[in-house]
Amino acid sequence: MMVQKTKQVEALTSNYAAAYAVKAVDVDVIAVYPITPQTTIIEKLSEFIANGELNAEIIHVESEHSALSAVVGASATGARVFTATSSQGLEFAHEVLHIASGFRLPIVMAVPGRALSAPISIHGDYSDVMNARDTGWVIYIAATAQEVYDTVIQAYKLAESVLLPVMVAYDGFLMSHTMEPVELNDEEEVRSFVPRAARPYTLNPRRPVTMGPLASPDWYYELKYQQVLALREAYKAAAEVDAQYGRRFGRRYGLVEGYRMEDADYAIVVYGGAAYGNAREAADRAREAGIAAGVVRVRLYRPFPTEEVLKALEGVKAFAVVDRAIMFGSPAEGPLYKDIATAMYIHGVDKPALNVIHGIGQRPIYVEDMYKIYAALRENPRRGVVFMGVRI
């Protein structure tokens, strides 16, 4: 007779959820440098190591640039690695982001999003994550602590199958420091789901290879094009990994998530946890007021899920994209809006689409704000950029 194991459910912040997932996949090397709001991830992992719950080498370094460089070196030898950072730390490590993806190393990094200086802000938005969007990393943006836990595990499966680094982002403070119930998987089951496999090329004295040599104009372009192909492969692989995870553990999220989109005339497109929750509540209120409202959440941001986004929005009369980051000087200042507008132009889709910039530096986004967006879409469908919630 099969014995059903009792499910373990813990009240965890998203930072702790990330740490529990890293423990479950049994990493070998963690490199750390503290920065708010990611520091509690590393604190929890240090506790696991000190208690003997995780057998990993933890490297304390002098900067985020060094932290990512350390896991680049460890991953190059074949080790399973993890690091985390936020805000200026991610900016400081920016050049190493390109090195990690160019080396095709399956590094996993958690990033609770935070605003960038100047002026100094320790509060959440996605300015840091969006600055890393074109560095060749796979980027997920999770919306709950449960999803953070599940996505970090999926990230290792994906990273080690397509040989690309993966970033798992979520709301700084609004998720990193708030608790939710999280169902934890049996760790042996997780390790069975993410088995260790030998990579074709690692630094090994018995089989010497060269990593990071000078590439002449004869070959540099071809090597960068291989990254393009790898990210395209990651697009398909991410959907398959999510499906496999769902079959094994009973939870899956898709690359794009929809809420009440079956018959929606007006949609708000969001990323992250707080914006998704408020948008869903606003959609419910809008429906009570006679507006056929829905919400689309982009979970996989890089590679961009063009097909899923276009399908989700194909039936709406108009939509808005709420961005929590600013692309200064761009024709439209919202990064997700620009991605969706580009995808629609390439595929010949023409709809009224509003770009709403909100939540910068953790400026509160209220349900009422989201409701006003639905009302505006119905009353005056148009294109343009709106800086909502700013005092001018």
CB of 336 closer than 8 Å to CB of 321: yes
Average pLDDT along the chain = 97
The yes-or-no verdict on residue 2 having pLDDT over 70 is no
Domains of the chain and any CATH numbers: 8-249 (3.40.50.970), 256-387 (3.40.50.920)
CB of 213 closer than 8 Å to CB of 147: no
Query: What DSSP character marks residue 157?
Result: H
Question: Of all residues in the chain, what percent carry a pLDDT higher than 70?
Answer: 98
The residue with tokens 């990493």 is 27
Tokens of 94: 């920016």
pLDDT in tens, 281-318: 999 999 999 999 999 999 999 999 999 999 999 999 99
The yes-or-no verdict on residue 155 having pLDDT over 80 is yes
The yes-or-no verdict on residue 4 having pLDDT over 90 is no
pLDDT in tens, 200-252: 899 999 999 999 899 999 999 999 999 999 999 999 999 999 999 999 999 99
The residue with tokens 């039936």 is 315
Note the pLDDT of residue 1: 47
Report yes or no on whether pTM surpasses 0.95: yes
Helix or strand run (H / E) with residue 252: none
Question: Nearest to residue 38, comparing CAs of 111, 117, 105, 115?
Answer: 111
Note the pLDDT of residue 392: 79
CB of 110 closer than 8 Å to CB of 81: no
The yes-or-no verdict on residue 258 having pLDDT over 70 is yes
Q: What average pLDDT score do residues 39-53 get?
A: 98
In one letter, which amino acid is 191? R
Cα separation, 367 vs 73, in Å, equals 45
Rg (CA), the chain: 21
Q: What average pLDDT score do residues 80-89 get?
A: 98
Q: What average pLDDT score do residues 332-357 get?
A: 98
* 375 phi/psi in degrees, rounded to 5: -60, -40
pLDDT in tens, 361-377: 999 999 999 999 999 99
Residues contacting residue 257 through CB under 8 Å, at least 6 positions apart: 143, 276, 296, 297, 299
Helices (H), 250-321: 273-288, 306-313
pLDDT bucket at 385, cuts 50 / 70 / 90:
very high
Tokens of 160: 């080690």
Note the pLDDT of residue 5: 63
